[in-house]
């Protein structure tokens, strides 16, 4: 690529002063118990595990590690609540609770945004403007469905499944909790939710919100812990449905585990999304779309546009502008409102990113990384773009789940489609073109659950989201998201 573009500090006009949000808005307890049957268990009764701020490596709080007996108690509480309360509560009544939860998320949105950013490392701009509002929107949306299930297209009086075990990842902690809980509750199920081990805090604040909303005890139970806790939930015979979002590897293990057991299952797994850029696309918007597609949430996004497929005729110009834009990204304090790229969520994830980036270099791709300064404490990775990538490179095939873009080129729409589909995944793709007919032609041929046209990473509770092939099955969001929690 060309010589290094000017950095922010050299450009002057972009050098804002720091503008951090106050960490004290978080009001965290030093330690947390489990949320079972409407109350928090005594933190002292469990092994306590620290959760860190990945931007500083400081401990934010400690949380309980739920063992098999705890999971059993949570499932029993959920079953009891299902049998005695929730399955005989009318849809209109269930809706009232969901609306209340949505409003309370809005009321506590600043606190939730700060907690999410502290625990996850994502920029406050994203937690404030995306994660928390979308979490509230999800509860509002499914509240609206609770008394209209007869009209959801699944026949008259569709029945809930019973107790749902829900296992979520660390990249959108509260939002994934909302994606799981809201449709399940609207459909009349009770839940046991297992947050990810590195980001349990916003789910525990949500537990407080459920208490504030006076949700009947046991309707939602939250058990913190690691993969062993998740596995205990999968193993539990009292669970009627497992909903999992996370790695393809664990998803596969869960599917094998549940084979022949009759437990309902939906899986939302990894991806290697292609963002396809044609030479007639409006270039400014397209550059922003590429940036957002890969650097949003540090690239910790299952549907990230991690493979850029650019038409050869515009490749030079796109790459030149992309590099200049990458150089302008602000990397640093996630609590700073001016930050674009925050901290990598964990040491383990940073190691995975570093390993794949090293593979990209050793396999012969050309690496460009932003010259931005990285903080000394915490887990950081500079925004990175690989060119000269071939389809066989690991960085073109494997999910990096970090701020690393692999660029490939193509000449014809046919070639773009064939390269985009050359993956074991099938979650999301983007198509950028002025021509609607071309966009539709390409979209029809892409094997992916979600296809964005002239935009990327756009989420809305009314729109179903999910994958095909190794990206999983089942849909979340929209009317379709109800089917995952109804006996259809
Ligand atoms: P993971 O799949 O191990 O973790 C996701 C959730 O599953 C966590 O709550 C974890 O505690 C739980 N879990 C782990 N093992 C389990 C088991 N045997 N049974 C039941 N639950 C279990 O993902 P991890 O290790 O955090 O990340 C590894 C890679 O997976 C990432 O680098 C990324 O490529 C991918 N990933 C994809 C996500 C997505 O949204 N598609 C989310 C997180 C990770
Ligand atoms: Mg954390």
Supply the pLDDT for residue 450.
97
Supply the pLDDT for residue 4.
56
- Closest ligand by atom to 202 CA: 2
Supply the pLDDT for residue 17.
84
Summarize the confidence of residues 448-457 as an average pLDDT.
Answer: 97
Looking at ligand 1, which atom is closest to the CA of residue 301?
40
Over residues 384-408, the pLDDT tens digits come to 999 999 999 999 999 999 999 999 9
- Closest ligand by atom to 121 CA: 2
- Residue 12's pLDDT band (boundaries 50, 70, 90)? low
- Residue 18's pLDDT band (boundaries 50, 70, 90)? confident
**CB-based contacts of 294: which residues, under 8 Å, 6+ apart?**
275, 304, 305, 306, 308, 403, 404, 405
Over residues 36-63, the pLDDT tens digits come to 999 999 999 999 999 999 999 999 999 9
Q: For residue 53, report the distance from its CA to the centre of ligand 2, in Å.
A: 5
Q: For residue 275, report the distance from its CA to the centre of ligand 2, in Å.
A: 30
Q: For residue 135, report the distance from its CA to the centre of ligand 2, in Å.
A: 19
Residues with C-beta less than 6 Å from any ligand 1 atom: 167-171, 194, 196-197, 226-227, 230-231, 234, 245-247, 250, 253-254, 269-270, 302, 349, 352, 399, 401
Which residue's CA is the nearest one to ligand 1's atom 35? Answer: 247
Summarize the confidence of residues 204-219 as an average pLDDT.
Answer: 98
- Is the pLDDT at 2 greater than 80, yes or no? no
Cα–Cα distance measured from residue 116 to residue 342, given in angstroms and rounded to the nearest whole number: 12
Looking at ligand 1, which atom is closest to the CA of residue 249?
2
- pTM to 2 decimals? 0.96
Q: For residue 26, report the distance from its CA to the centre of ligand 2, in Å.
A: 13
- Closest ligand by atom to 52 CA: 2
- Closest ligand by atom to 343 CA: 2
Mean pLDDT of the chain: 96
Residue-by-residue DSSP string for 221-271: EE----HHHHHHHHH-TT-SEEEEES-HHHHHHHHHHHTTS--EEEEE---
Which residue's CA is the nearest one to ligand 1's atom 27? Answer: 247
Which residue's CA is the nearest one to ligand 1's atom 36? Answer: 247
Residue-by-residue DSSP string for 77-121: HHHHHHHHTGGGS-HHHHHHHHHHHHHHHHHTHHHHHHHHHHHH-
Summarize the confidence of residues 332-345 as an average pLDDT.
Answer: 97
Q: Are 457 and 303 in contact (CB under 8 A)?
A: yes
Q: Are 333 and 123 in contact (CB under 8 A)?
A: no
- Residue 458's pLDDT band (boundaries 50, 70, 90)? very high
Which residue's CA is the nearest one to ligand 1's atom 21? Answer: 230
Supply the pLDDT for residue 1.
44
Q: What 3 state SS string does 418-465 have?
A: HHHCCCCCCCEEEEECCCHHHHHHHHHHCCCCEEEECCCCCCCCCCCE
Over residues 88-112, the pLDDT tens digits come to 999 999 999 999 999 999 999 999 9
Looking at ligand 1, which atom is closest to the CA of residue 268?
41
Over residues 275-301, the pLDDT tens digits come to 999 999 999 999 999 999 999 999 999
Supply the pLDDT for residue 464.
95
- Residue 80's pLDDT band (boundaries 50, 70, 90)? very high
- Residue 10's pLDDT band (boundaries 50, 70, 90)? low
- Residue 16's pLDDT band (boundaries 50, 70, 90)? confident
Among 174, 199, 202, 246, residue to substitute to test ligand 1 (most atoms within 8 Å of Cβ) = 246
Supply the pLDDT for residue 367.
98
Supply the pLDDT for residue 204.
98
Q: Catalytic positions, please? A: 268, 302
Which residue's CA is the nearest one to ligand 1's atom 29? Answer: 247
* Closest by CA position to 424, among listed 269, 266, 267: 269
Q: Are 429 and 450 in contact (CB under 8 A)?
A: yes
Q: For residue 183, report the distance from its CA to the centre of ligand 1, in Å.
A: 22
Q: Are 322 and 315 in contact (CB under 8 A)?
A: no
Among 64, 176, 225, 250, residue to substitute to test ligand 1 (most atoms within 8 Å of Cβ) = 250
């Amino acid at each position: 690529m060309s010589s290094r573009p000017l950095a922010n500090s050299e450009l002057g006009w972009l050098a804002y002063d720091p503008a951090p949000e106050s960490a004290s808005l978080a009001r965290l307890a030093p330690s947390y118990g489990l949320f079972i049957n409407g109350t928090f268990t005594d933190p002292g009764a469990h092994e306590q595990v620290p959760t860190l701020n990945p931007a500083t490596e400081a401990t934010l709080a400690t949380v309980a590690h739920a063992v098999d007996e705890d999971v059993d108690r949570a499932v029993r509480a959920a079953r009891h609540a299902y049998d005695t309360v929730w399955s005989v509560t009318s849809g209109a009544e269930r809706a009232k609770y969901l609306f209340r939860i949505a409003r309370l998320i809005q009321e506590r949105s600043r606190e939730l945004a700060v907690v999410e950013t502290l625990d996850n490392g994502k920029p406050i701009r994203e937690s404030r403007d995306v994660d928390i509002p979308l979490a509230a929107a999800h509860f509002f949306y499914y509240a609206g469905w609770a008394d209209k299930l007869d009209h959801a297209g699944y026949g008259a009086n569709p029945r809930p499944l019973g107790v749902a075990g829900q296992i979520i990842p660390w990249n959108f902690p509260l939002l994934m909790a909302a994606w799981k809980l809201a449709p399940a509750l609207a459909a009349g199920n009770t839940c046991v939710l297992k947050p990810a081990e590195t980001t349990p805090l916003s789910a525990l604040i949500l537990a407080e919100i459920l208490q504030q909303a006076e949700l009947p005890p046991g309707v939602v139970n939250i058990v913190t812990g690691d993969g062993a806790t998740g596995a205990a939930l999968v193993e539990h015979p009292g669970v009627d449905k497992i909903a999992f979002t996370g790695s393809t590897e664990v998803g596969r293990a869960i599917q094998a585990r549940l084979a022949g057991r009759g437990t309902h299952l939906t899986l939302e797994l990894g991806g290697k999304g292609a963002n396809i850029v044609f030479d007639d696309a409006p270039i400014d918007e397209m550059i922003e779309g590429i940036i957002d597609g890969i650097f949003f949430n540090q690239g910790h996004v299952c549907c990230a546009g991690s493979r850029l497929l650019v038409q050869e005729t515009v490749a030079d110009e796109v790459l030149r502008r992309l590099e200049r834009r990458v150089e302008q990204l602000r990397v640093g304090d996630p609590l700073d409102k001016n930050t674009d790229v925050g901290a990598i969520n964990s040491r383990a994830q940073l190691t995975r990113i570093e390993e794949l980036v090293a593979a990209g270099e050793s396999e012969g791709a050309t690496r460009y990384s932003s010259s931005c300064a990285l903080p000394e404490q915490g887990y950081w990775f500079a925004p990175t773009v690989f060119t000269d990538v071939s389809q066989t490179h690991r960085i073109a095939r494997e999910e990096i789940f970090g701020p690393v873009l692999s660029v490939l080129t193509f000449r014809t729409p046919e070639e773009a489609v064939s390269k985009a589909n050359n993956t074991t995944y099938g979650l999301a793709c983007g198509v950028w073109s002025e021509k609607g007919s071309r966009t539709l032609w390409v979209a029809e041929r892409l094997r992916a659950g979600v296809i964005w046209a002239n935009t990327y990473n756009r989420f809305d509770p009314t729109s179903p989201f999910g994958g095909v092939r190794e990206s999983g099955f089942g849909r979340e969001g929209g009317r379709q998201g109800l089917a995952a929690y109804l006996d259809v």
